[in-house]
């Protein structure tokens, strides 16, 4: 498969389309703001006048757009990509969208006779520009094999995670961990900087980031095996979270992420888990 269409030349899409060009694919691009296509056109990409024109002339259409609403407009609209595609054209939407959107896209593409994969990515601007993304793929494994070479131009790892929509679940689940960790880190940094600590911001961050980064990998084996043999009791972590709130109160520092996390620990204590290892806090599913 050599003729690739790429729609959505934002921070991520520009790097990804650039990688496809570097690796010898014939790339046709489209973006709402046409000026962003300039550097790619200089590297050999063709600029399509519309999504429909692009879809009609390539073997696989990749999209990297902002959100559900944009994906709906550009892929599902009457003048959109799917309506204009020939049956047999592969679609790979790499935007971060909801699982429901991914399933809706898959159904629309398949109704047109077009295989569809949802394939959001892990990694940011640097990884996109260097072909180092991790690509999570939902859909038929055989469809992934058909486009694997194209995805390999952009991704260092390609993981088939399940049927259409499941990659979105994993991608969103992954992002929320990163988002909540950073929000919690910000609260702790504010607490330290409001106190009379004399360390530099960088030195405080070294300690906080070291812990934030280590705790999940340290506790991962216990969580995977549901082994709650106590190394640090949940009860004691609850005590520390409560004490942190007291310190925050003294220093007049708002810590809403901490406050809600403490309630999660309170719930676990209420459910009789106080003497278990605190990693048991990560055991919420029924599975
Ligand atoms: P971005 O730079 O804001 O690019 C968004 C893209 O969507 C642009 O091509 C933009 O076109 C297009 N778009 C927005 N509104 C549109 C509309 N109404 N009609 C047509 N096109 C429209 O975002 P990004 O960082 O590249 O992210 C793209 C996707 O990847 C998002 O779903 C994001 O969550 C996900 N993601 C981002 C990162 C990251 O680190 N940045 C990492 C992993 C995943 P214009 O250029 O015309 O505005």
211 vs 189: CA distance, rounded Å: 13
13 vs 53: CA distance, rounded Å: 19
Please identify every residue annotated as catalytic.
Answer: 171
The verdict on the CB of residue 23 being under 6 Å from ligand 1 is: no
Per-residue pLDDT, 20: 98
The verdict on the CB of residue 19 being under 6 Å from ligand 1 is: no
When pLDDT is cut at 50, 70 and 90, the band that residue 286 belongs to is low
∠ CA 92-47-87, nearest 5°, is 40
Q: Which atom of ligand 1 is nearest to the CA of 33?
A: 47
The verdict on the CB of residue 102 being under 6 Å from ligand 1 is: no
Per-residue pLDDT, 213: 75
Contacts of 86 (CB under 8 A, 6+ apart): 56
268 vs 162: CA distance, rounded Å: 31
Residue 212 has pLDDT above 80, yes or no: no
When pLDDT is cut at 50, 70 and 90, the band that residue 211 belongs to is confident
What number of residues does the chain have? Answer: 287
Q: Whose CA is nearest to atom 18 of ligand 1?
A: 70
User: Average pLDDT over the chain, rounded to whole?
Assistant: 97
- State how beta strands 46-47 and 116-118 pair: unpaired
Q: Which atom of ligand 1 is nearest to the CA of 9?
A: 9
Average pLDDT over residues 45-53: 97
85 vs 20: CA distance, rounded Å: 21
pLDDT digits (tens, 9 = 90+) for 97-106: 999 999 999 9
Query: Alpha carbon of 157 to those of 16, 121, 137, 178: distances in Å?
Result: 14, 10, 11, 19
Of 59-63, 144-148, 214-218, 247-251, least confident by mean pLDDT is 214-218
241 vs 203: CA distance, rounded Å: 22
CA 223 to chain centre: 22
58 vs 61: CA distance, rounded Å: 7
Average pLDDT over residues 183-202: 97
Residue 89 has pLDDT above 90, yes or no: yes
pTM as predicted: 0.94
User: Is 271 in contact with 265 (CB distance < 8 Å)?
Assistant: no
When pLDDT is cut at 50, 70 and 90, the band that residue 287 belongs to is low
Q: How far is the CA of 234 from the centre of ligand 1 (A)?
A: 41
The verdict on the CB of residue 33 being under 6 Å from ligand 1 is: yes
Q: How far is the CA of 16 from the centre of ligand 1 (A)?
A: 12
Q: Whose CA is nearest to atom 31 of ligand 1?
A: 66
pLDDT digits (tens, 9 = 90+) for 11-39: 999 999 999 999 999 999 999 999 999 99
Residue 133 has pLDDT above 60, yes or no: yes
Per-residue pLDDT, 68: 98
For a mutational test of ligand 1's pocket, the pick from 65, 124, 174, i.e. the residue with the most ligand atoms closer than 8 A to its C-beta, is 65
- The overall longest dimension of the chain from CA atoms, in Å, is 67
235 vs 223: CA distance, rounded Å: 17
């Amino acid at each position: 498969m050599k003729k690739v269409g790429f729609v959505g030349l934002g921070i991520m899409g520009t790097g990804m389309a650039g990688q496809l060009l570097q690796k010898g694919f014939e790339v046709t691009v489209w973006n709402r703001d046409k000026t962003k296509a300039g550097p790619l056109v200089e590297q050999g990409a063709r600029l399509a006048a519309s999504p429909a024109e692009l879809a009609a002339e390539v073997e696989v259409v990749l999209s990297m757009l902002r959100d559900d609403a944009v994906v709906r407009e550009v892929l599902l609209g009457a003048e959109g990509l799917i309506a204009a595609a020939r049956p047999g054209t592969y679609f790979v939407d790499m935007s971060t969208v909801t699982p429901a959107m991914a399933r809706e896209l898959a159904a629309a593409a398949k109704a047109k006779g077009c295989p569809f994969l949802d394939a959001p990515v892990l990694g940011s601007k640097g990884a996109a520009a260097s072909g180092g993304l991790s690509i999570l793929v939902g859909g038929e494994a055989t469809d992934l094999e058909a486009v694997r070479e194209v995805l390999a131009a952009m991704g260092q790892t390609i993981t088939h995670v399940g049927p259409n929509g499941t990659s979105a679940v994993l991608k969103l689940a992954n992002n929320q961990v990163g988002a909540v960790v950073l929000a919690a880190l910000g609260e702790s940094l504010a607490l330290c900087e409001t106190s009379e600590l004399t360390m530099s911001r960088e030195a405080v961050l070294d300690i906080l980031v070291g812990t934030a980064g280590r705790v999940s990998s340290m506790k991962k084996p216990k969580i995977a095996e549901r082994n709650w043999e106590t190394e640090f009791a949940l009860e004691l972590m609850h005590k520390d979270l409560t004490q942190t709130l007291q310190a925050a109160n003294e220093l007049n520092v708002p810590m809403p992420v901490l406050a809600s996390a403490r309630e999660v620990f309170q719930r676990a204590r209420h459910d009789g888990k106080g003497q278990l290892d605190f990693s048991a806090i990560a055991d919420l599913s029924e599975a």
